[in-house]
C-alpha cells in the first residue's frame, strides 16, 4: 500500500494497493497498482473484496465466474501487534439463499502468511477461473517487484493441511503458506473446507498448529479452483519500532481488551475457553445439539478440569504477546509437557465435544485434532454432525448414516473422518441442505446456511443480521447473558448501533482479540501509514462495508424467509435455560421490521 497523502483530509485516490489477478484457465497473471476509490478500499479486507464481489454475477459457488479474493488489511504486516490478518472472500458454497444462489462471505486467519504476503509486495490476489490440474501459487518478492508463478502440485494432493505445510516447508524454506486439506480438495462433497495458514510455531515445532480461515467454505472454493495452496516467499523484515508503537503494543498486550484471551499468569482469563464457566452459570452452554439438559455436563470440559490430565500452554502468532492459542499437550508422568494434541478454543471444543454429548477431554482433543487435520470448519462440522445425532435420537426406528447418537464417540469419529475425506456428502453439504433433504429443519442450527457458533439461538436474535457467521460479524451473542435485557428498543439498538461494528477488524488487518479502541486504532493508522483517518471516518467506513454486505445478500436473493432463527427456538421451549425466554415469532417479526426499517434506508442509499 503506497500513499502520497500529506493533507488533513484524506484523498483516497492518492492511496494505491497492489493487486494480482491470476486467471487459472489460461495462466495469465497480471500485477497492477490500483487507486483506492473509497475508505473501504483503503482499509482493505472484506471492505474492498466485497466491492469486487458486488460487480460479479454468480449463480453457483462452484462456477468459474466466482472469484476467490485473498486480501490483506491496511495494518497487515505492519509492526502493530496482531496486524496479521489475511481475508478470503468469495460467494460461499454454504451460505445460500432460498433461491439457491450463494451468499457473499469472508473468513479471516492470523498466523504469519498475511505478513509474508504483504512483504512480497502484494496486497491482494484475485483467483479467476479454474486450473485444470492441481496447482500452487508462488508469490515471491524480487528486486524488480513481486513475481507470481503457477506451479504443478499433484505431488501434494491428498495430504492434510499440516502435512502439506510441512512438505512445502522443505521445498520452500523461509516461506509461509495458506493451504487446503482433503476437505477442500473434495469440495463437491464437503462444502465447509477451510484454509489453514502457517505460524512460526508450527514450522518450528512441527506440530499441527495452523490458524484457520474456517467459515463459509473458502477452502472448498480454493479446492474447486484446483489451487492447493499459496506460498508467500519474502525475506523477513527487520523493523525498528517507534516509541508510539512500542507503547501501543504494550497496551494491546496488557490492556483490558485482550485480557479474556491472555494466560492467567499474564492477568488474563485463559482464552475463549473461559466461556464455558460464564455460560455454564446460566446453563446456556450448547449441549446435545443446542438443547442443554437440566444437569449440564459443561463443567467437565472447563480448563481447570482438563488441566488435571493434560498440559495447556498459551502460545502465540508472530510478534503477538496475547498468546491466545490454548494448545493441549499430553502430560508426562513427571507433569512435564508431552506430545501436542490439539488447540482448544471455545467454539471447536464445544461443538466437537459437549454439543455432541462427549464430555471427555481425550476424546475432544482427538476430534478437534482430526477436524484440523482434514481442514474442515469445526463449527460447520460439529453442528452438522450434532444434527445427525439429534435426528437419530428422534428416529431410533430409522437410523441415519451410521446411526450415531449423542455421546457415541467412535461413530461420531467415523462420521468426521468420512466427511473430511470426502466420503460423506450428506454431512459435507452442511446442516441447511441436510435438514431440507430429511424434511426436518426445526433443529438444524443455522441462519442463512451458516451453522451457528456456540451460543444458543434462544439468547441471540442478532444472528439474523450476521453477514459472515454468528459470532464474527454481529456482536450480540453474549448480550442477553450480560444484560438480561429483552426490550425491543434494547435489541434494535444493539444490532443497528453496536453489534455490526465488530467487523471493523475484518477490514483493518488487526485481530479481533486486540480489541483496540477506535481512538488508539486511528492514531496507529496515522503513525504506521501516514494516513489520517478519524475515529468517526473509521466507523462510517465499517458501517458502509457492513451495509454493503446486507445489500449483497439482497442481490443474491436473500429474502424475509432467509432471515430466521432455527424453528426450534419457537417450537421446543427449553426450560433448563436460565436466561429469559423472550423470542416468540411475534417478537422476532417485530424486531425484523424495526431493524430493517433502519438498514433498508441505508441499503437503498448505498445502491443509489
Does 578 contact other proteins by CB under 8 A? no
**DSSP 3-state assignment of 109?**
strand
Our CB check for other proteins shows the closer of 234 and 511 to be 511
On the CB side of 277, CA atoms within 13 Å amount to 11
Partner residues linked to 312 by β-bridges = 328
> Judged by CB under 8 A, which of 41, 141, 207, 347 binds other proteins?
347
DSSP structure class, residue 501: G
**Cell numbers describing residue 448:** 442463512
Residue-wise DSSP of 385-427: HHHHHHHHHH-TTS--TT---TT-HHHHHHHHHHHHTT--HHH
In contact, 113 and 212? CB cutoff 8 Å? no
Residues 501-560 that bind other proteins (CB under 8 A): 502, 512-513, 515-518, 535-536, 539
> Judged by CB under 8 A, which of 50, 374, 477, 551 binds other proteins?
477
Does 451 contact other proteins by CB under 8 A? no
Does 500 contact other proteins by CB under 8 A? no
> Judged by CB under 8 A, which of 189, 220, 249, 454 binds other proteins?
454
Our CB check for other proteins shows the closer of 28 and 536 to be 536
CA dihedral sign of residues 360, 365, 370, 372: positive
Our CB check for other proteins shows the closer of 10 and 502 to be 502
Partner residues linked to 145 by β-bridges = 142
Q: Which residues contact 240 (CB under 8 A, 6 or more apart)?
A: none
Does 211 contact other proteins by CB under 8 A? no
- Encoded one letter per residue, x for contact with other proteins by CB under 8 A and - for no contact, window 371-410 reads ----------------------------------------
> Judged by CB under 8 A, which of 76, 182, 226, 272 binds other proteins?
272
Our CB check for other proteins shows the closer of 159 and 512 to be 512
Our CB check for other proteins shows the closer of 272 and 296 to be 272
Residues 225-264 that bind other proteins (CB under 8 A): 255-257, 259-261
CB 564 to other proteins: min, Å:
22
Task: Candidates 188-196, 273-281, 306-314, 587-595: pick the segment binding other proteins (CB under 8 A).
Answer: 273-281
CB 545 to other proteins: min, Å:
17
Distance (Å, whole) CA 74 – CA 72: 7
Residue-wise DSSP of 535-594: HHHHHHHHHHHHHHHHHHHHHTT--GGGS---THHHHS--TT--S-----HHHHHHHHHH
Our CB check for other proteins shows the closer of 300 and 539 to be 539
Residues 119-138 that bind other proteins (CB under 8 A): none
Our CB check for other proteins shows the closer of 93 and 292 to be 292
CB 467 to other proteins: min, Å:
16
Does 602 contact other proteins by CB under 8 A? no
Residue 490 CA: distances (Å) to CA of 69, 362, 499: 36, 42, 12
CB 267 to other proteins: min, Å:
3
Q: Which residues contact 103 (CB under 8 A, 6 or more apart)?
A: 91, 92, 95, 96, 97, 448, 449, 552, 553, 556, 558
Three-state SS sequence of 131-187: CCCCEEEEEEEECCEEEEEEEECHHHCCCCHHHHHHHHHHHCCCCEEEEECHHHHCC
Category of 115 on φ-ψ map: left (φ > 0), alpha (ψ -120 to 50) or beta: alpha
Distance (Å, whole) CA 445 – CA 458: 11
Our CB check for other proteins shows the closer of 86 and 272 to be 272
CB 563 to other proteins: min, Å:
21
Does 355 contact other proteins by CB under 8 A? no
> Judged by CB under 8 A, which of 24, 69, 245, 279 binds other proteins?
279
Residue 265 CA: distances (Å) to CA of 259, 331, 343, 346: 11, 20, 19, 20
124-128 and 15-23: which strand pairing?
parallel
Does 266 contact other proteins by CB under 8 A? yes
Distance (Å, whole) CA 108 – CA 280: 28
CB 343 to other proteins: min, Å:
11
Distance (Å, whole) CA 87 – CA 13: 23
Our CB check for other proteins shows the closer of 271 and 369 to be 271
Residues 323-342 that bind other proteins (CB under 8 A): 324
Residue-wise DSSP of 208-263: ---EEE-GGGHHHHHHHTTEEEEEEE-PPPP-PPPHHHHHHHHHHHHSGGGGGGS-
Does 281 contact other proteins by CB under 8 A? yes
- Total chain residues near other proteins (CB under 8 A): 45
CB 345 to other proteins: min, Å:
6
> Judged by CB under 8 A, which of 21, 150, 151, 269 binds other proteins?
269
Residues 43-102 that bind other proteins (CB under 8 A): none
Our CB check for other proteins shows the closer of 146 and 214 to be 214
Does 478 contact other proteins by CB under 8 A? yes
Distance (Å, whole) CA 413 – CA 68: 31
Would you tell me which residues interact with other proteins (CB under 8 A)? 255-257, 259-261, 266-267, 269, 271-272, 274-275, 277-279, 281, 324, 345-347, 453-455, 471-472, 475, 477-478, 481-484, 497-498, 502, 512-513, 515-518, 535-536, 539
Amino acid at each position: 500500500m503506497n500513499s502520497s497523502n500529506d493533507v488533513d483530509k484524506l484523498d483516497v485516490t492518492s492511496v494505491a494497493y497492489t493487486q494480482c489477478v491470476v486467471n487459472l484457465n489460461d495462466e495469465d497473471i497480471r500485477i497492477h497498482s490500483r487507486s483506492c476509490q473509497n475508505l473501504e478500499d483503503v482499509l482493505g479486507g472484506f471492505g474492498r473484496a466485497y466491492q469486487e464481489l458486488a460487480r460479479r454475477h454468480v449463480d453457483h459457488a462452484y462456477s468459474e465466474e466466482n472469484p476467490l479474493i485473498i486480501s490483506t488489511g491496511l495494518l497487515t504486516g505492519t509492526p502493530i501487534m496482531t496486524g496479521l490478518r489475511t481475508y478470503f472472500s468469495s460467494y460461499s458454497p454454504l451460505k445460500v439463499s432460498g433461491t439457491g444462489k450463494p451468499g457473499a462471505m469472508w473468513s479471516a486467519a492470523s498466523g504469519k502468511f498475511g505478513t509474508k504476503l504483504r512483504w512480497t509486495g502484494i496486497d491482494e490476489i484475485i483467483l479467476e477461473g479454474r486450473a485444470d490440474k492441481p496447482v500452487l501459487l508462488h508469490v515471491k518478492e524480487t528486486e524488480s517487484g513481486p513475481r507470481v508463478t503457477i506451479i504443478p502440485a499433484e505431488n501434494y494432493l491428498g495430504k492434510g493441511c499440516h502435512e502439506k505445510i510441512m512438505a512445502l516447508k522443505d521445498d520452500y524454506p523461509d516461506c509461509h503458506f495458506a493451504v487446503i486439506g482433503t476437505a477442500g480438495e473434495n469440495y463437491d462433497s464437503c462444502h465447509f473446507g477451510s484454509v489453514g495458514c502457517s505460524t512460526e510455531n508450527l514450522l518450528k515445532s512441527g506440530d499441527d498448529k495452523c490458524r484457520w480461515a474456517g467459515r463459509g467454505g473458502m477452502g472448498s472454493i480454493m479446492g474447486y479452483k484446483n489451487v492447493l495452496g499459496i506460498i508467500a516467499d519474502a525475506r523477513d523484515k527487520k523493523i525498528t519500532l517507534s516509541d508510539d508503537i512500542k507503547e501501543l503494543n504494550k497496551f494491546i498486550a496488557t490492556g483490558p481488551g485482550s485480557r479474556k484471551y491472555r494466560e492467567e499468569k499474564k492477568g488474563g482469563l485463559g482464552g475463549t475457553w473461559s466461556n464455558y464457566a460464564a455460560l455454564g452459570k446460566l446453563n446456556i452452554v450448547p449441549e446435545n445439539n443446542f438443547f442443554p439438559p437440566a444437569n449440564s455436563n459443561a463443567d467437565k470440559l472447563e480448563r481447570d478440569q482438563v488441566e488435571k490430565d493434560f498440559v495447556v500452554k498459551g502460545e502465540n502468532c508472530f510478534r503477538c504477546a496475547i498468546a491466545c492459542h490454548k494448545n493441549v499437550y499430553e502430560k508426562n508422568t513427571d507433569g512435564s509437557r508431552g506430545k501436542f494434541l490439539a488447540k482448544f478454543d471455545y467454539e471447536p471444543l464445544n461443538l466437537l465435544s459437549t454439543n455432541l454429548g462427549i464430555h471427555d477431554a481425550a476424546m475432544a482433543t482427538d476430534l478437534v485434532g482430526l477436524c484440523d487435520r482434514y481442514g474442515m470448519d469445526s463449527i460447520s462440522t460439529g453442528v452438522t454432525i450434532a444434527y445427525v445425532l439429534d435426528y437419530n435420537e428422534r428416529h431410533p426406528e430409522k437410523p441415519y448414516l451410521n446411526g450415531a447418537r449423542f455421546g457415541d464417540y467412535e461413530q461420531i469419529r467415523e462420521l468426521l473422518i468420512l466427511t473430511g475425506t470426502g466420503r460423506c456428502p450428506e454431512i459435507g453439504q452442511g446442516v441447511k441442505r441436510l435438514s431440507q433433504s430429511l424434511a426436518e429443519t426445526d433443529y438444524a442450527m443455522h441462519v442463512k446456511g451458516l451453522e451457528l457458533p456456540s451460543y444458543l439461538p434462544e439468547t441471540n436474535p442478532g444472528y439474523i443480521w450476521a453477514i459472515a457467521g454468528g459470532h464474527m460479524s454481529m456482536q450480540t451473542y453474549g448480550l442477553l447473558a450480560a444484560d438480561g435485557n429483552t426490550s425491543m428498543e434494547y435489541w434494535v439498538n444493539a444490532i443497528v448501533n453496536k453489534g455490526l461494528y465488530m467487523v471493523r477488524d475484518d477490514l483493518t488487518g488487526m485481530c479481533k482479540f486486540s480489541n483496540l479502541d477506535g481512538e488508539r486504532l486511528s492514531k496507529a493508522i496515522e503513525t504506521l501509514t501516514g494516513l489520517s483517518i478519524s475515529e468517526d471516518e473509521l466507523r462510517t467506513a465499517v458501517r458502509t462495508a457492513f451495509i454493503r454486505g446486507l445489500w449483497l445478500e439482497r442481490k443474491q436473493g436473500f429474502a424475509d424467509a432467509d432471515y430466521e432463527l432455527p424453528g426450534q427456538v419457537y417450537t421446543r421451549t427449553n426450560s433448563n435455560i436460565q436466561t429469559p425466554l423472550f423470542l416468540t415469532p411475534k417478537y422476532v417479526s417485530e424486531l425484523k421490521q424495526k431493524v430493517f426499517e433502519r438498514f433498508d434506508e441505508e441499503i437503498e442509499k448505498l445502491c443509489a
